[in-house]
Chains A and B, each alone.
Chain A
């Protein structure tokens, strides 16, 4: 159960016609560190012409570039990061990040850790975890380049997060996933339904362990760059039914989450998730969660 035709048929069943997508390069300005630097003009002077991405606060499309966006002095000085447009959405869904204790469970290579730190204005604490040491080195470079000062990184499986004995106000679950064909040329050749099911199971395990560390009133953002409902809506349906979590309404780019998937009816609140089919951006999925009210009051007894 694999191959382009197999997945194409699946996407058609859930309402999307497969099309080729040419991904536009995007950057995200690190506001805290580049304040008053007149960055957009400076970059335009170098031949890097930008256009504001209408659905993001600090994101710009790279329209035209005479220089590589990843090799300017401004990039090396940490004034901006190269971050795909849809990948800028999950972190932007948290409220009031300043001074908070934040968990980033699958953090490497760190695009979203740096974004979190930027929105926190380098206050509070981020605990960033990953299991891949090579990718953690890249994360360390990214933190150094962008002058991040509020993060502690561990080489740790997210499913062991309780060993840190901490409670978090915000948890980012940018979970390991199957990815999508836009960012991986060989995606259809390499991926099978079995992989997807295996990833979906790992995602549920990570989610289950992470919520044990969620402070009352805490917020979770779950995201993947997978198009497969098993890793997205179906997992969120499971979370609502098994983990006493409630899906929150979010105001961001994307379509409603699917509530009917391959003949299975999901909880109606799953429509509050956002599914982003490839087009303007790569494929993506985001969902914001909180403990359900009844669960919060349980904790108070």
Chain B
């Protein structure tokens, strides 16, 4: 299936495929989710279409923020972080144990997890590198930042 990279990424976050593969189109390693109306009129030489899902580079999948937002509403593994940590996270920083308010999902070391603020809004994702609930080591890094919405600003530079 052409959206294999996406499926693998999603299963790592504990969510089944939430998109219809027949509506996924690919161009230069970039994946887009269309809908039946768009699919009907789209020409091969499009530049961008529908919902950008992410890109595959050197065999690795880099999800878009649209995809992360979609799966955060579908019960993906995630952590909820406090206000200060949320701000630092979108500035590209890692998350310390003390910034984690709640953990939803198994939170296994070395697995990916969505990062969500107090309003339930997805700010990106990271890799679990520490013990999320070890309050004695509250200044340790719990989740390494892999990708955050501050990237929209960094891209434009």
Question: Contact: A73 with B90, CB < 8 Å?
Answer: yes
A37 to B48 CA separation, bound complex (whole angstroms): 28
B110 within 8 Å of A (CB atoms): no
A139 within 8 Å of B (CB atoms): yes
Interface pick from A151-159, A253-261, A263-271, A292-300: A151-159
Question: Contact: B41 with A125, CB < 8 Å?
Answer: yes
Interface range on chain B (Cβ under 8 Å from partner) = 20 to 34
Given A73-B117, A77-B149, does the pair A143, B37 have CB atoms closer than 8 Å? no
A218 to B156 CA separation, bound complex (whole angstroms): 36
Q: Which of B42, B47, B69, B121 contacts A140 (CB 8 A)?
A: B47
A140 to B150 CA separation, bound complex (whole angstroms): 16
A244 to B134 CA separation, bound complex (whole angstroms): 74
A246 within 8 Å of B (CB atoms): no
Chain B interface residues (CB < 8 Å from chain A): 33, 35, 37-38, 41-43, 45-52, 64-66, 69, 86-87, 90, 117, 119, 121, 123, 149-150, 152-153, 155-156
Question: Contact: B49 with A144, CB < 8 Å?
Answer: no
What are the residues of chain B within 8 A of A127 when measuring CB–CB?
41
A152 to B65 CA separation, bound complex (whole angstroms): 18
Interface range on chain A (Cβ under 8 Å from partner) = 20 to 34
Question: Contact: B149 with A73, CB < 8 Å?
Answer: yes
Given A73-B117, A73-B121, A125-B41, does the pair A149, B50 have CB atoms closer than 8 Å? yes
Chain A at the B interface: SS class: mixed
Given A144-B66, A147-B69, A150-B38, does the pair A136, B43 have CB atoms closer than 8 Å? no
Question: Contact: B49 with A73, CB < 8 Å?
Answer: no
Question: Contact: B65 with A151, CB < 8 Å?
Answer: no
Question: Contact: B47 with A136, CB < 8 Å?
Answer: yes
Shortest A47–chain B CB gap in Å is 13
Nearest to B150 among chain A residues (CB) is: A76
Q: Which of A76, A138, A154 contacts B149 (CB 8 A)?
A: A76
Q: Which of A145, A149, A155, A166 contacts B152 (CB 8 A)?
A: A145
Interchain Cβ contacts under 8 Å between A and B, 18 examples: A73-B87, A73-B149, A76-B90, A77-B121, A125-B37, A125-B38, A136-B47, A145-B65, A145-B152, A147-B51, A147-B66, A149-B35, A150-B38, A152-B38, A152-B41, A153-B47, A153-B48, A154-B45
